[in-house]
Amino acid sequence: MPRRSGRQVFVSVNWLAEHLHDDNLRIFDARYVYPHESPQGEEMYAAGHIPGATFVHWRRDLSVNTKPVPNLVLGPEAFAAKMSQLGVDANTTVVVYDIGNVIWAARIWWSLRYYGHDRVYVLEGGAAAWEAAGKPMTTDIVDPPANKTFVPNVRPGMRASKAQVRAAIADADTTIIETRRESGIRESGGTVKGAYWLPSTTVFAPKENYQALIPEADLDGYLRDIGVEEAGQLVAT
């Protein structure tokens, strides 16, 4: 098993290759592109995926898509039902991968962590790194194991309510970070009052043929550059 710590997010291509046939391992193919782009994630999955992987669409399968705020994580009962259907219980290790940009795999990682599941990791480099390393791809589809029951254990501290964000605006010990691109801020009519802008793309850098998180020291430097010295409690939007 990977080293267990509150900070570990990633497993390597070599680790996954070595543990590919472990009992209680589930692999989620979370490849996603925007609707106007192609090929779509389902098409990528059908053309070839990591052996044993199940395709999971983060928006369709794991989100509530209603206006005015779409893409919110499913409620606990619906999320638990979906994870049970996907063959996940408390003893399951989940590895999620996307095209190699981390973002979509990280959303599923966060969702599982939010509902109390610690045994979840993102494949560093995603499908791009797996294929670049010469690891096998397949078109075979494997049914998820049956009779699995996922029990959600909500971690409220991983998600801020509207009221909490309002309170954070006036709290000197809380720092609000706006992570959307400039276009997203314009389209929504603005950002939270007092938020520091650090686009999510800032924290990634090219590594071989995929995007990797920048070193922690570099992230600290970016935070200082935008005026954040001692972050205290963080709220990201």
Counted residue by residue, the chain has a size of 237
pLDDT given at position 152: 98
Q: And the tokens for 85?
A: 């259907």
pLDDT given at position 55: 97
Backbone torsions φ then ψ of 158, nearest 5 degrees: -90, 0
Q: And the tokens for 224?
A: 């200082």
Residue 30: other Cβ atoms inside 10 A: 30
- CA distances (Å), origin 122, targets 40, 100, 174, 195: 20, 10, 28, 28
Distance CA(196)–CA(193), nearest Å, equals: 9
Cβ 95 vs Cβ 119: under 8 Å: no
pLDDT given at position 171: 83
Query: Measured in whole angstroms, how far is the alpha carbon of residue 28 from the centre of its chain?
Result: 11
pLDDT given at position 170: 83
Domains with residue ranges and CATH for the chain? 10-155 (3.40.250.10), 160-236 (no CATH)
pTM: 0.87
Q: Where are the alpha helices (DSSP H) in 170-215?
A: 182-188
pLDDT given at position 167: 85
Instruction: Calculate the dihedral angle through the C-alpha atoms of 200, 201, 207, 209, rounding to the nearest 10 degrees.
Output: 110
Distance CA(237)–CA(228), nearest Å, equals: 16
pLDDT given at position 85: 97
* Per-position pLDDT tens, the chain of length 237: 343 344 589 999 999 999 999 999 999 999 998 888 889 999 999 999 999 999 999 989 999 887 777 788 999 999 999 999 999 999 999 999 999 888 899 999 999 999 999 999 999 999 999 999 999 999 999 999 999 999 999 999 888 888 888 888 888 888 888 887 777 777 777 888 888 888 888 888 888 778 788 888 998 888 888 888 776 778 887
The residue among 66, 42, 70 whose CA lies nearest residue 56 is: 42
